[in-house]
Every structure is written in C-alpha cells, then in structure tokens.
Chain A
Amino acid sequence: MQMPLEMLDQEKTPSFMEEVFSPKSIAVIGASSDSEKERKAGWLGRLLQFGFKGRIYPINPKVKEVLGFKAFPSIGDVPDSIDYVIMAIPRRLVPASLNECVSKGVKVVHIYTAGFSETGTREGIQLQKELEKIIQTGHTRVIGPNCMGVYCPSGGLSFDIRFTKEKGSITFISQTGVGGRRLISLATGRGLRFSKAVSYGNAIDLNVTDFLEYAVSDPETGLILLYVEGLTDGRRFFNLLRECRKPVVLLKAGLSESGSGAVASHTASLAGSRQVWEALFKQTGAIPVDTLEEAVEQMVALQTLPPIKSRRVGLVGRGGGIGVVATDMCEREGLKVPPLEKETKDRLATIVSADAGSSIRNPVEIGLGVTGVSEHYVAGLAMVAADPKIDFVLTFLNPEDYIHYGVKGWAEDISKGLLKAKKTLSKPFAVVFLQGQNVDVFQAILQIQRECLKEGVGCFPSLDSAIKAISKLITYYQGRDD
C-alpha cells in the first residue's frame, strides 16, 4: 500500500514553474564572505548584474552582510518566505542544507554543486540517494544537482552574466551545463533570443519531461530546444511531444549505446535505441539534430522562414561549380532543383550577361562578379521567386571575392539588397555567406549577418547547413496536420 500513496502524494505536488523562472525571492546558500569576490564570480553577483528585481538573501554564517544585503546564518533564520534557493556549497554540506530548505518550505532549490552520481563513485551515488530521500519529505522541488540552473531574461535570472537581457521565444531545456552555455552563446550570436533556458543536470526531481510539459503550454514559448541524454519518463515525454503544437528541435546525445542483453524474439534482437528514437521523431514531428551547431542553424531556419510545405528550390549564386555542388546537396537532402519556366528564363536573360558564361537555368548566376554586387541582383531573386515551379529561393554569396578584389561598398550593397528582397520577394528566401579563412572576411560576414538577422533574413554559414536545416523545416511543416 505504501507505493500508491507515495505516488499520489507526488502527483499532488505542484511543479512551481513560475517560481523556477520568475521567483520573487532568492536566497544564495554559499554566498562568499568576500563581497568583491561574490560580485565578480558569485551567484549574487550574477543576480545583481542581470537585474533581478526580487528580494535577495545571502546565506553565510560568517558575515553580517554581503554586497549590501543582510546575510543570515542559515535558511531557517530568514524570516520571510523564499521562492528559490541557489545552493553552491561543498557537496558534503548539501544534504543538511537541503533538509533545512524542505523544512522551511522553500518552493524550488537549484543545486549547483557537483560531485554526485555523475562521478560514478560510491560516495557520490550515496550522497545523491540521500538528497532523493530528503525531497520525499516535503513539497520543495529541486533542479540538479550538478547543473547551471536557469536563464530567464524576463525573470532577471542568468547563470552567465554575458548572456543577453533581450528576451525571445525559444525555451531551451538542457541536461548539459557547459554545452548549454555554449549553445546559448552560439545562438545569441546568430540573432536568436531565449524566453527561458534551464540546465537540469542529474535531475533527482525536476526532469526534462517536467520542463517540457511547462514549455508546451507556456504562452511565451514559441520554439522548444531539447538536449537529452538519459530519460526516465519516456512515455510521458513521447505523449507530450505528440501533443505539442510548437516546433521542437531535439538533440538526443548518446545514441551509440549497444543493445539490451539477452532477448528471445526476432523483434527484440533487431531493435536498438537508435531505431526507437527514429520512430519517435517520425511519430511526433520533433526535429532531430546531431550537434549543437546544427541545433542553432535549425532554430535560425524556424525563426526566419515561414512554413514551407513543398521542396522545390531556386538556387541563385555566382560560380557554376558551387551551384552544381549545391544542387547535389539539395537532391541528397530531398529538395528538388527544377528547371525554370521559359518565361522566367526570358526575363532573366534581360539582366544576366550571357557572355561571361553565366547560367540562367537553375542554379541561376546573377551578376555578382568581382566588380561588385549587380544592380540587378534583387530583381533577379524576385524573378526566380516568381517562377510557379519554385517554392523558395536559396542564394549564396562569396564575400571573399569582393574583399580580394578590393570592391568598395559591397557590404552595404549586399545588406541593402537582401533587406529589400526580404520585403519584396513573393516566396521565402534564405542566404548563405560562404565563409573565408581570414579576419577581414569573418568580420564582414558577421557584420552583414547581424544586420540581416535583425531584420529576420535567414542567414547560414554554409550551403550544407542551410540545405539540411531547410529540408528538415519542410519535413516538419509537411508532417503537421494543419
């Protein structure tokens, strides 16, 4: 009888997600006695610099105040209620401290401290079991241990002060802390903005499925990114993904594990976790990505392109060989590069000089030569976009050429042209800036990219990444019932 009762109790416990992302009060257990150190590298410092607006309580028995806030010897000594605790103390002190939090009725505890089951040591595993027992005694919910916790610009929370305070619509749920930080940094650099991010580590309590459940119905979340290694709540996870009406990008790491021991049937001997995850992707529409970089490109595609439901692409860019390679890549990823209508070709012939051997088939080479950006570039993009056989346009530019040949004003010309195209083209379009291995090229590309992304023009660092991301975007929209 004990089991069902416990399970019932567990179900009644609220998940306190409002307190996770927008707490009104935060206590930092393990705030440094040295205010200067805490300001520079401590959790209090992060809260202050990130502009957290709620009540703040440093917990430290050795000092009266930290950074101007009255300090308390223990969480039990704080006279007010506490929504959220950040715990950054040596691991042997964590159980007792967590016990106090539960007794006080703290709603959420983020245990930053590492050194538990992830170490694989007996001591670490034992300590984690202790924590698991402690949280059974109350309603306190735990994020972690061994994790970075929460980034939520609107709640004034961040585990890295370098993150932007601008908020967006992406919610990122991540088992990994360091990988998560890298992803946020990469994504931010590509113009993406987050509503919320959480790194949940060893997940002794709140896990990926709990956060996913919240994100699915959270009105501020428009796009969900998941980084998952292990999963304990698979069926609920699967059902939530199936119900979810928002795009979900899913990086499942650790797929290469081997099969599951002795089995008696053909079916079990043929099945591996990779096949089951593949089935999950097909059944739920979650978009699979293999790397953090691919996740970023997929989100750029989803945030800058409208729903595209069929696969015919018009390629526009200078360089026959690059165009042929791009065509092969498109075909490999399930995109079609059809010949253009005669009418489109006739129109293109009026602006493309055939004497330089430029092509007006698909791919189309429009005068983007060494002399600079053709005045006809945007007009050409529009002609291709208007072709009834084309669903969207992908254009590639090679800034290295312009720099190499000392073309003046090319960056401005390209930016202006692409922004104009964004406003005037009749079909979706995306841009690839072919990368070059020198500082001038990098700088120039970053500059143009920033301007374009700000205006919602989808920019990608390679044909490969663009084609993959767009192909998966189309698969996603084709799979939706609406």
Chain B
Amino acid sequence: MESKELIKEAGINVTDTKLARSKKDAIPISDQIGYPVVLKIASHEITHKSDVGGVRLGILSPDEVGTAYDEILASVAQKYPTAAIEGVTVQKAARPGVEVIIGMFKDAQFGPVLMFGLGGIWVEVLKDVSFRIVPLTKKDTASLIREIKGYPLLEGRRGREAVDLSSLEEALLKLSVFVEKYPEIKELDLNPIFAYADGYLAVDARIVLEAGS
C-alpha cells in the first residue's frame, strides 16, 4: 500500500490498491473499484505472495470476493502461520501485457543500481535481467532494455504488437531520479509490470526501507 503510494509519487503508472481489513470491507471496496478485481494477501512479512496461496485473480462478483478472501487467509494460515496479516488488498484486474520487472538494490561500492528484465514468473525461472548503476542516462536505459535475452518478446512476435519501449525507458529514468532523491529506500521491486503497446502498468510494488528510516 505505502509502497504503491511512493511509487506513484515517482511518476510511475501503478494500479490503484485498497486495503480491506476484513471480508466485510472487501466486498464494498470491490464493488467500488469495479470487477474483475484481484485480491492479494497484505503482510509486511510475505514477499512471495503466490507461494503461500496469497493471490486470487479475475474475481467477478461479490460472492467470489468473499470466497477468495476466506481461501487466501486459510492458505496463508497453513503455509505461513507466524506471519502478521494486515488483511487483503483489492485492486482492479489489469489487462494482461508482457510481464517485465524493474527493481533497485544498493551495491556496497556503487550505491543504487537499477535492474530491468522479464518479470512475473520469468524472473525467477530465467533470471533474464540486466543492471545499470544510478544515475542512468538515456543511452543507459535504451541499452539496458535491449540487452536482455527476452528482448524479442518486447519487439512483438507472431502477430503480437511491440510494446511501448519509450514509456519503459521513461519509467527507468524517473526511478533513477527517484531513488537518488530518497536514499532511505534500500530495495525496490516493481513486479510484474504489464508492458503494453500503449504504455505500461505496474501491478505490484515492494519497497524496503533502510533500517531506522
């Protein structure tokens, strides 16, 4: 939640997300956002939400919201019983695109470094990512995107449209400025970002702050 607010401030397109602290809250929030919606477990302790059964996609009705809410909590209670749970986040289901990841970590020697690669499940399986030290120039962002092995997927293949690379380049440049401005950010993941022919949308964001910030 807070992560997405911060990311919005950086000028990054990100899905609107609201926190539901109970099943009773989740249904009116979903009604307000409009179906289909996505429910995700909200816990500072859980990084890999899918791994603990903490994500439900394509929810179409208030009834389904209720069922999904119960299932998520039951699954998390079983797979990660010690995790402190804040509730469940509700967001509008984004139209699917090519999944990419943009991230930042701090290198002990060079400070903030940005990462770009194929996102979603691909980042874990293929680890097709590449890095640039902050601050990035326009040349850096262009070469960063083009050097990943999966770049042809972004160019469009088999009748698929090419994604809007310039909007991704712009997002990288904005994040480069953003992480320099906020040294208290220790790590950052925007994963996945759906890349479209006409822009992109970050559907999940995670920011880790430096201890004591």
Chain A binder among B7-15, B65-73, B165-173, B185-193: B185-193
Instruction: Say whether B129 contacts A270, CB under 8 Å.
Output: yes
A235-B110, A280-B110 known; A275+B131 contact, CB < 8 A:
yes
Q: Are A266 and B133 interface neighbours, CB within 8 A?
A: no
Residues of B close to A268: CB separation below 8 A: 103, 105, 187
Closest partner residue, chain A, to B103 (CB atom): A267
Q: How far is the CA of A276 from the CA of B104 in the complex (A)?
A: 12
Chain A hits for B189, CB < 8 A: 265-267
User: Which residue of B103, B124, B127, B133 is within 8 Å of A276 (Cβ)?
Assistant: B133
Distance in angstroms between the alpha carbons of A273 and B104 in the assembled complex: 14
Residues on the A chain within 8 Å of B105, using CB: 263, 265, 267-268, 271
A260 — which chain B residues lie within 8 A by C-beta?
Answer: 108
A279 to B147, CA, bound (A): 11
| Cα distance, A266 to B47, chains bound together (Å) | 9
Residues in B whose Cβ lies below 8 Å from that of A264: 47, 187, 206, 208
**Roughly how many angstroms separate A265 CA and B47 CA in the complex, as a whole number?**
7
Chain B residues closer than 8 Å to A278, beta-carbon distance: 131
Please give the distance in Å from A240's CB to the nearest CB on chain B: 12
* Cβ-closest chain B residue relative to A233: B109
* Chain A interface mostly: helix
Most buried by B among A263, A267, A278: A267
B107 within 8 A of partner (CB):
yes
Q: Is A282 an interface residue (CB 8 A)?
A: yes
| Residues in chain A near residue B131, CB distance under 8 A | 271, 275-276, 278-279
Contact B187 A234 (CB under 8 A): no
A295 CA to B189 CA, complexed, in Å: 38
Q: Are B133 and A267 in contact (CB under 8 A)?
A: no
Asked whether any CB of chain B lies closer than 8 Å to the CB of A238, the reply is yes
Distance in angstroms from B143 CB to nearest chain A CB is: 7
CA gap between A53 and B127 in the complex, in Å:
59
State how many angstroms separate the Cβ of A314 from the closest Cβ of chain B.
29
Given the interface contacts A238-B133, A270-B127, does A265 sit within 8 Å of B110 by beta carbon? no
Q: Is B199 an interface residue (CB 8 A)?
A: no
Whose C-beta in chain A lies nearest to the C-beta of B127? A270
For A283, list chain B residues within 8 Å (CB).
Answer: 132-133, 137, 140
A-B contact pairs, 21 of them (CB 8 A): A234-B107, A234-B109, A235-B110, A238-B133, A264-B47, A265-B47, A265-B189, A265-B206, A266-B103, A266-B124, A267-B103, A267-B105, A267-B115, A267-B187, A268-B187, A270-B129, A271-B115, A276-B110, A276-B131, A278-B131, A282-B140
Residue ranges of A at the interface with B (Cβ–Cβ < 8 Å): 231-232, 234-235, 238, 260, 263-268, 270-271, 273, 275-276, 278-280, 282-283
